[in-house]
Amino acid sequence: MTLPPSLEAILTFLQNWWVEIVCGVVIVAVVPLIAGYVVLVERKLMADMQARLGPMRVGPHGLLQPIADALKLLIKEDLIPDNADKLIFWLAPVISMVAAMTSMGAIAFGPTFQVARDINIGILFVIGVSSLGLLGIILGGWASNSHYSIIGAIRSTAQLVSYETAAGLAIVGALLLAGTLRIRAIVDAQQQLGVWFIFLTPVAFFIYLVASIAETNRAPFDLPEAESELVAGYMTEYSGFRWALYFLGEYANMIVVGSVATTLFLGGWLRPFPNVHWLDWLDFLPPLIIAAVGVYCVYRAGKQPAEIQIWFMWAVALTCFAVAVIFAVPLFVTSLKFILPGLHGAFWFLLKVSGYIYLFMWLRFTLPRYRFDQLMHLGWYILIPLAIVNVLAIGVAMILESEFSWNRWFAALLTSLFTLGVAAFLVNLYDKRTAAASAPATAAARDPYAG
Amino acid sequence: MGNALQQEDTTKKNSTLLGADELVINMGPQHPSTHGVLRVKLKLDGERVRATECVIGYLHRGVEKIAEHRTYQQFAPYVDRMDYVAAVSNGLGYCETVEKLLSVEAPPRARVIRTILTELQRIASHLVWLGTHALDIGALTPLFYCFREREEILKIFEKYCGARLTTHAFRIGGLQYEAYDGFEKDVERFCKNFERRIQDYVDLLTGNSIWIGRTRNVGVLSAADCIALGASGPVLRASGVKWDLRKAQPYAAYEQYQFDIPTGTNGDTYDRYMVRMEEMRQSRLICLQAIEKIPEGPILGKVGKVLKPAAGEVYHSIEAPKGILGYYIVSDGTTQPYRVRIRPPSFVNLQALDKMVRGHLVADVVAIIGTLDIVLGEVDR
Amino acid sequence: MLDSITFYFFAGVAVLSAALMVTRHNAVHSAVLLVTTLLATAGIFLQLRAEFIFITQIILYVGGIMVLFIFVIMLVRLDVALHHIRFRLQRWVALFVALALGVEITVVFLFARRLPGQGLLIQEPAPADKLPPNTEELARSLFSSYLLPFEIASVLLLVAMVGAVVMAKKRIDQ
Amino acid sequence: MSPAHYLFLSLALFLIGAIGVITRRNVIVVLMSIELILNAVNINLVAFSRIFGDVSGQVFALFIIADAAAEAAVGLGIIIAFFRNRETVLADEMDLLKW
């Protein structure tokens, strides 16, 4: 039967775009949950490193803590400071949240799972849209109309802008090797070369690591909301759900930054040593790891005090085993072989992203905080020049390799050493400058009795 | 917080951030990093601090006035409430001053146990300082390591005199309680694993370039300034002045033990950090030497129930963890002191804040308040 | 079908927010509205299959220039300074000028009796999927035939950077 | 989409920008309207580059964006310097040359 034309158009639209829509819905639904559990993991890790237990109250081992937090934030009254700019006060957290979520659109969580099906400017889209989050921070600081939040907003803007340059140049370094902006093509390039780009351009990876930490306002660079001086920077006046939006935006941004680093430097969804065929038993690793988690849950289930907690731990264990079976099926059933890359690719990708985020958290627990001028100094005087020199070095390495047919490894090694030499020069230039700037008069050891 | 800021702001000709020539920012009294209820008014030029003004008195309880209506024994618990982080040292200072007034000598066993408890208290006080100081500068983990060690010490105090923080462990003339039988073993076990634990802090902080960046050449105080301002304790020693009452005017049983006095060179926050870390190691050595041989004998000297010291005055000072803690007591022959004047180290060291902070950034003010290791209970009395 | 939907949507948003931007009193509101206009224009670039310009617009215009604008508005504390009124006379002159321009263009259309761009000697624009990859194409032409303007643009940016820093720096001697 | 759509759109944006430049007293909003005009020009460039299939239109749009950035930076620098001395951002009070 003939449908009305508009319905026809919608049906055709759905027909050829349903994969993207499903992926999009999954991302928008799952990311807040994941962000919640990343917060829980962070609190548990911090507790573990500080000889304490972390949240244990809500659900067994605090597993339901994120849901409790979300509920609390929803119920809590979010007040608006008087004569604050109502419209922009509401808009700012939305901008920072939307920026983080849309930039996830272009990220390929696995060879099949990608919302924007391989757009021509893949990585650039992710970086560009995630830099919009900056607007959310400025407007948030401005709209809350309090002295401290404006200073916090100005500081975090200056930090983000300068470290975005460093991150962009570090990414240029890796893109030279990949030769394309398309995310899928970058990972394929790493597969053909058979090596992850982190080994060819280690300096670019570390510059990007430092810049991405600063870009998400975390760890030693979390100055804008340094508790001790600005109380909470631009987020001071926010509470309740609006604050949760900012918080979600920050964690989503962390996942985005992690996935960009994984795609560019850690070989996206490639299994370690993808082309080495005698290492193919590594394909069995994903189901084994998930099964191990399930076994640990069973082991912990026995120790839970309350009845309900035992049931809950059993439920978690069973889901782990089910997922492990799903991962194992394509390995054995040859007819389902084609699922293997998509499924395992997503697992490896998420494993690497979580490793990257673990590094973020680790730094947060151990390192003290930079002062603002040191932070800007590190950004402008050391990271950006180093990133420029690194791009130069990679260009030279590629030319050496293609024109003078040097061995690729040798060229990469030589140029990396050259860049490290420049880095050492920059760092001691920085130390000499700070030492000279404030050398105090050395006090002779005086014995008061002598006087 | 901040209301004073509003009045000053509007009076300025143009208070836009751009042309902000003079900006007054209020830190405290409810600021997360002022170690209690201290209010610091910072006059800022952009980010640099031009001048500061400390507003204190939020924790003033009039301890010295109360002393005039308490007998000597009744006043002893008040002394613990002054520097609540190092209550045992306060008690030691007060008891020794009154003993000096009565010209009575505590028996040797009491003096050795007093030394051990005071040194343990010094370590506990420095641990609190290290934890909160690192937290202000952003390192989250040292706080929990320090409080884990301090918990061991507080357990020993609790076993000895029943209280953890405000212990009132000593009596005028000696001790109230005999050392419980596992005392030497506990102290030895603590000192044994404290050696490894200090290494945790050193690994975390000493070599850390961000820590050095935040503390080197911050809040510099030269030796001459220290002496002029009357600063004492680790603040004085970090500027190179080798002056410690435990060596200069030995009290309790300090003359029997060998320990050295750490001093710094250029009196900045990093040197104060190193001096206090070294002091913790030295205190540990003193405890180890002390528990080898605790002399036998009575723990309370010949002091009657009612103390009626002859009219007169006495001044006696000891080396508290924060600096020189002095007591000046005037007695008029009755059972109650006529006047008790206390010289708290934190109050005097706080005067150095203004000189140390000038020219620094707001982030450094927090680090400098931390390095002075002030406790407001002692500053306000 | 999809093309026209996206075009009308983005065009509508762009024109509406541009109109609002010009009429707002609060400078920050007009800055935010300008951001929406720029994003809508970026959407139109996307609809024209010019992805690289789309992403440059987002990174450079919205991420860079608008951040600068809002920064200055915050530093200068504009709306706190005063509540200004537009001059009376100026408004009518502007409306008259705009009207005259509009009338002039419509008259041209009427006499020409066909929509603009119809007479151009172009066949059908290339269908969307057969377009060469935009970024590579752009790069090829940028670095081959337009290399000189590229270098001059970089010099221009350098000069602008130095100028802006010198202008905004607080006089030391002040 | 036929070229007429893009021409009308950029005309509308151009007119709004022109009105903004002329009517507003506040120099920062004037600068923003100039950005709007530059944007209208960009739309035309990219539209015709798409219709003619020749990418030089987009290259030129790229140069315009770069130039707009330079112009905004210097413009705002001037505004800051001016605001610091004269406490005002209004166009009609910038009459330094009038004696």
- Beta carbons of B268 and A440 less than 8 Å apart: yes
Provide the pLDDT confidence category of residue B327 given band limits of 50, 70 and 90: very high
**Mean pLDDT across D26-38:** 91
Query: Which pLDDT does position A1 carry in this prediction?
Result: 62
Residues from chain A contacting residue B217 (CB–CB below 8 Å): 434, 438-440
Query: Which pLDDT does position A117 carry in this prediction?
Result: 74
Which residues span the domain enclosing C148? 144-174
Collapsing DSSP states into helix, strand and coil, what is residue D60?
helix
Domain check: are C39 and C82 in the same one?
yes
Give the number of beta-carbon pairs within 8 Å between C and D.
219
Q: Is the pLDDT of residue A305 over 50?
A: yes
- Judge C/D contact: 3 or more CB pairs < 8 A: yes
- Judge A/D contact: 3 or more CB pairs < 8 A: no
Query: Which pLDDT does position A450 carry in this prediction?
Result: 46
- Beta carbons of A120 and C135 less than 8 Å apart: yes
Residue of B nearest to D85 (CA): B19
Domain check: are C28 and C18 in the same one?
yes
Give ∠ CA A97-A98-A102 in degrees, rounded to 5. Answer: 125
Provide the pLDDT confidence category of residue B16 given band limits of 50, 70 and 90: very low
Provide the residue ranges of all domains of chain D, joining segments of one domain with +.
25-90
> In whole angstroms, what is the distance from residue A288 CA to residue A282 CA?
10
Shortest alpha-carbon distance between residue D60 and chain B (Å):
37
Collapsing DSSP states into helix, strand and coil, what is residue C59?
helix
- Beta carbons of B222 and A370 less than 8 Å apart: no
Provide the pLDDT confidence category of residue B33 given band limits of 50, 70 and 90: low
End-to-end CA distance of chain B: 23
- Beta carbons of B17 and C81 less than 8 Å apart: no
Q: Is the pLDDT of residue A212 over 70?
A: yes
What is the tens place of the pLDDT at every residue in B73-104? 999 999 998 888 899 999 999 999 999 998 88
Q: How many domains does chain B have?
A: 1
Domain check: are C115 and C159 in the same one?
no
What phi, psi does B27 have (nearest 5°)?
-110, 110
**Mean pLDDT across C120-126:** 63
Q: Is the pLDDT of residue C79 over 80?
A: no
Judged by a CB distance cut-off of 8 A, whether residue B65 touches chain A is no
Residues from chain B contacting residue C80 (CB–CB below 8 Å): 16
- Beta carbons of A138 and C70 less than 8 Å apart: yes
Shortest alpha-carbon distance between residue C109 and chain D (Å):
11
Mind spelling out the 3-state secondary structure of chain A?
Answer: CCCCHHHHHHHHHHHHHHHHHHHHHHHHHHHHHHHHHHHHHHHHHHHHHCCCCCCCCCCHHHCCHHHHHHHHHHHCCCCCCCCCCHHHHHHHHHHHHHHHHHHHHHCECCCCCECCCCCCCHHHHHHHHHCCHHHHHHHHHHHCCCHHHHHHHHHHHHHHHHHHHHHHHHHHHHHHHHCCCCHHHHHHHHHHHCCCHHHHCHHHHHHHHHHHHHHCCCHHHCCCCCHHHHCCHHHCCCCHHHHHHHHHHHHHHHHHHHHHHHHHHCCCCCCCCCCCHHHHHHHHHHHHHHHHHHHHHHHHHCCCCCHHHHHHHHHHHHHHHHHHHHHHHHHHCHHHCCHHHHHHHHHHHHHHHHHHHHHHHHHHHHCCCCCHHHHHHHHHHHHHHHHHHHHHHHHHHHHHHHCCCCCHHHHHHHHHHHHHHHHHHHHHHHHHHHHHHCCCCCCCCCCHHHC
Q: Is the pLDDT of residue D74 over 50?
A: yes
Judged by a CB distance cut-off of 8 A, whether residue C75 touches chain B is yes
Q: How many domains does chain C have?
A: 2
Name chain C's partners: 3 or more CB pairs within 8 A: A, B, D
Q: Is the pLDDT of residue A87 over 60?
A: yes
- The verdict on residue B222 lying in a domain is yes
Residue owning tokens 């084994």: A288
Identity of residue A348: W
Give the number of beta-carbon pairs within 8 Å between A and C.
68
Which residues span the domain enclosing B376? 63-380
Provide the pLDDT confidence category of residue A259 given band limits of 50, 70 and 90: very high
Residue owning tokens 């008061």: A448
Q: Is the pLDDT of residue A260 over 70?
A: yes
- Judge B/D contact: 3 or more CB pairs < 8 A: yes
Q: Is the pLDDT of residue D40 over 60?
A: yes
What is the tens place of the pLDDT at every residue in B125-155? 999 999 989 888 888 888 899 999 999 999 9
Residue of C nearest to B20 (CA): C75
Architecture of domain D25-90: Orthogonal Bundle (1.10)
**Mean pLDDT across B247-258:** 89
Yes or no: say if B172 and B73 are a contact pair by the CB < 8 Å rule: yes
Residue owning tokens 């020049």: A385
Cα within 13 Å of Cα(A388), Cβ side: 8
**Mean pLDDT across B251-262:** 89
Provide the pLDDT confidence category of residue B4 given band limits of 50, 70 and 90: very low
Q: Chain B: which residues have CB within 8 Å of chain D?
A: 14, 18-19
Strand B48-55: give its sheet, edge to edge.
Answer: B23-27, B39-45, B48-55
Domain check: are C63 and C42 in the same one?
yes
Of A121, A125, A135, the CB nearest to C35: A135
Residue D25 is inside which H or E element, if any? none
> In whole angstroms, what is the distance from residue A6 CA to residue B364 CA?
66
Provide the pLDDT confidence category of residue C18 given band limits of 50, 70 and 90: very high
- Name the average pLDDT for chain B: 86
Provide the pLDDT confidence category of residue B314 given band limits of 50, 70 and 90: very high
Query: Which pLDDT does position B210 carry in this prediction?
Result: 87
Residue of A nearest to B227 (CA): A448
Q: Which of the two residues, A147 and B254, has the higher pLDDT score?
A: B254
Tell me the sheet residues that pair with B43: B24, B51
Q: Is the pLDDT of residue A333 over 50?
A: yes
- Beta carbons of D23 and C91 less than 8 Å apart: yes
- Residue A211's contacts (CB-CB under 8 Å, 6 or more residues apart) are A163, A164, A166, A167, A170, A379, A383
Domain check: are C100 and C168 in the same one?
no
- Beta carbons of D84 and B18 less than 8 Å apart: yes
Shortest alpha-carbon distance between residue C146 and chain D (Å):
8
Q: Is the pLDDT of residue A366 over 70?
A: yes
Judged by a CB distance cut-off of 8 A, whether residue C62 touches chain A is yes
Domain check: are C86 and C167 in the same one?
no
Mind spelling out the 3-state secondary structure of B34-53?
Answer: CCCCCEEEEEEECCEEEEEE
Q: Is the pLDDT of residue D59 over 90?
A: yes
Residue of D nearest to C134 (CA): D55
Domain check: are C14 and C50 in the same one?
yes
> In whole angstroms, what is the distance from residue A362 CA to residue B197 CA?
20
Domain check: are C122 and C155 in the same one?
no
Residues above pLDDT 70, as percent of chain B = 92
Provide the pLDDT confidence category of residue A229 given band limits of 50, 70 and 90: low
Shortest alpha-carbon distance between residue C59 and chain A (Å):
5
Other Cβ atoms closer than 10 A to D48:
19
Residues from chain D contacting residue C2 (CB–CB below 8 Å): none
Shortest alpha-carbon distance between residue A54 and chain B (Å):
12
Q: Among B12, B15, B18, which would you mutate to test the D interface (most chain D Cβ atoms within 10 Å of its Cβ)? A: B18
Collapsing DSSP states into helix, strand and coil, what is residue B317?
strand
Yes or no: say if C131 and C49 are a contact pair by the CB < 8 Å rule: yes
Shortest alpha-carbon distance between residue B360 and chain D (Å):
25
Cα within 13 Å of Cα(A264), Cβ side: 33
Residue owning tokens 């026209």: C4
Q: Is the pLDDT of residue A447 over 80?
A: no
- Residue B290's contacts (CB-CB under 8 Å, 6 or more residues apart) are B112, B115, B116, B119, B253, B257
- Beta carbons of C164 and D7 less than 8 Å apart: no
Give the burial class of A25: count Cβ atoms within 10 A of its Cβ; 0-12 exposed, 13-18 middle, 19 or more buried: exposed
Q: Is the pLDDT of residue A348 over 60?
A: yes
Query: Which pLDDT does position C123 carry in this prediction?
Result: 60
Q: Is the pLDDT of residue B2 over 70?
A: no
Q: β-strand B312-320 against B323-331: which pairing, if any?
A: antiparallel
CA A17 to chain centre: 28
Query: Which pLDDT does position A371 carry in this prediction?
Result: 84
Judged by a CB distance cut-off of 8 A, whether residue C52 touches chain A is yes
Q: Is A271 left (phi over 0), alpha (psi -120 to 50) or beta?
A: beta
Residue of A nearest to B211 (CA): A368
- Beta carbons of D83 and B18 less than 8 Å apart: yes
Residue of B nearest to A449 (CA): B243
Judged by a CB distance cut-off of 8 A, whether residue C62 touches chain D is no
Query: Which pLDDT does position B287 carry in this prediction?
Result: 93
b/e map A380-416, b = 16+ CB within 10 Å: eebbbbbbbbbbebbeebbebbeeeeeebeebbeebb
- Beta carbons of A440 and B266 less than 8 Å apart: yes
Provide the pLDDT confidence category of residue D26 given band limits of 50, 70 and 90: confident
Collapsing DSSP states into helix, strand and coil, what is residue B256?
helix
CATH code: domain of residue B234 = 1.10.645.10
Query: Which pLDDT does position B34 carry in this prediction?
Result: 58
Q: Is the pLDDT of residue A135 over 80?
A: yes
Residues from chain A contacting residue B232 (CB–CB below 8 Å): none
Domain check: are C49 and C107 in the same one?
yes
Q: Which of C34, C12, C13 is nearest to C23 (CA)?
A: C34
CA A40 to chain centre: 16
- Beta carbons of C74 and A153 less than 8 Å apart: yes
Q: Is the pLDDT of residue C85 over 70?
A: no
Query: Which pLDDT does position C99 carry in this prediction?
Result: 83
Domain check: are C34 and C22 in the same one?
yes
Yes or no: say if A385 and A429 are a contact pair by the CB < 8 Å rule: no
Residues 228-257 of B with CB under 8 A from A: 239-243
Q: Is the pLDDT of residue C174 over 70?
A: no
Residues 67-96 of C with CB under 8 A from A: 67, 70-71, 73-75
Domain check: are C130 and C65 in the same one?
yes
What is the tens place of the pLDDT at every residue in C25-53? 888 889 999 999 999 999 999 888 888 99
Yes or no: say if A115 and C39 are a contact pair by the CB < 8 Å rule: no
**Mean pLDDT across A169-188:** 89
Residues from chain B contacting residue D84 (CB–CB below 8 Å): 18-19
The radius of gyration of chain A from alpha carbons, rounded to an integer in Å, stands at 25
Judged by a CB distance cut-off of 8 A, whether residue A381 touches chain B is no
